[in-house]
Homo-oligomer: A and B are copies of this chain.
Amino acid sequence: MEASAALNIFRKYLERFVVFNEAEWIVFTQHLSFSSLKKKHYFTEPGKVCDKVGFIVTGAVRYFHIKDGEDITGYFSFENEFVSSYKSYLTGLPGYTYVQALEDTKLITFTRRDMEQMLANPMLAYKMERFGRLVAEHYLCCYEDRVISFLTQTPEERYLQLLSTGKEILQRMPQHYIAHFLGITPVSLSRIRRRVMVSSA
């Protein structure tokens, strides 16, 4: 995909948050970069400050942590979604999360420095504050749902809910990643799947 097509897709996506006029868009795009991430390469790693946000044009990434030497996948992002180690990006402190490309991935990125410049630019400041607010609110709602699911649902219930809402994750992610995403081990998910199979047969 060529850059201008990717930018148009990005612009269209952003309209769910803010709509830029032509003059604003020109300035905004001056702060954007294009980058590629080969499969298995890292968008960010623990100990590093994740100083950027990416928009995935093509590809997919997973977020994971290492716990006792083992790799725990916590989340995924796909085409037309943002990717970042948000807390690290927002606080400017080193993160604890690996973010890794699962396929060759093409991104549009802006750095925290870019965002700060736009927030300091009277032409864009208001719209960028609003943009930041709406994006943060969007993710806040996602996180609220997810925390509630850990509090009030069993792993089996979380899996059944994913079956009904998580088409893309189920189709594109190996099962052991999905297991950790649900907060359980791959072996346990395999058992849950058998239970669900049997009881619905």
Residues of B within 8 A of A151 (CB): 65, 72, 74, 180-181, 183
Classify the secondary structure of A's interface with B.
helix
Could you tell me if B141 and A91 are in contact, using CB atoms closer than 8 angstroms?
Answer: yes
Tell me the number of copies of this protein: 2
Chain A residues in contact with chain B, CB under 8 A? 65, 67, 72, 74, 86-87, 90-91, 96-97, 125-126, 129-130, 132-133, 136-137, 139-141, 143-148, 150-152, 180-181, 183
Alpha-carbon separation in the docked complex, A150 to B152 (Å): 13
Provide a sorted-by-A list of 11 A–B residue pairs whose CB atoms are within 8 angstroms.
A65-B148, A67-B152, A72-B151, A72-B152, A74-B147, A87-B145, A91-B141, A130-B133, A132-B137, A133-B136, A143-B147
Given A97-B148, A129-B130, A140-B143, 10 other A-B contacts at CB below 8 A?
A: A72-B151, A74-B147, A74-B151, A86-B141, A87-B140, A90-B137, A129-B129, A130-B133, A132-B137, A136-B136
Alpha-carbon separation in the docked complex, A181 to B30 (Å): 45
Alpha-carbon separation in the docked complex, A151 to B179 (Å): 10
Could you tell me if B152 and A65 are in contact, using CB atoms closer than 8 angstroms?
Answer: yes
Residues of B within 8 A of A132 (CB): 133, 137
Residues of B within 8 A of A74 (CB): 147-148, 151-152
Closest to A130 in B: B129
**A140 touches which one: B72, B97, B125, B139 (CB < 8 A)?**
B139
Alpha-carbon separation in the docked complex, A55 to B106 (Å): 43
Residues of B within 8 A of A148 (CB): 65, 74, 96-97
Alpha-carbon separation in the docked complex, A65 to B150 (Å): 12
Would you give the shortest CB distance from A105 to chain B, in whole angstroms? Answer: 22
Residues of B within 8 A of A72 (CB): 151-152
Alpha-carbon separation in the docked complex, A143 to B144 (Å): 7
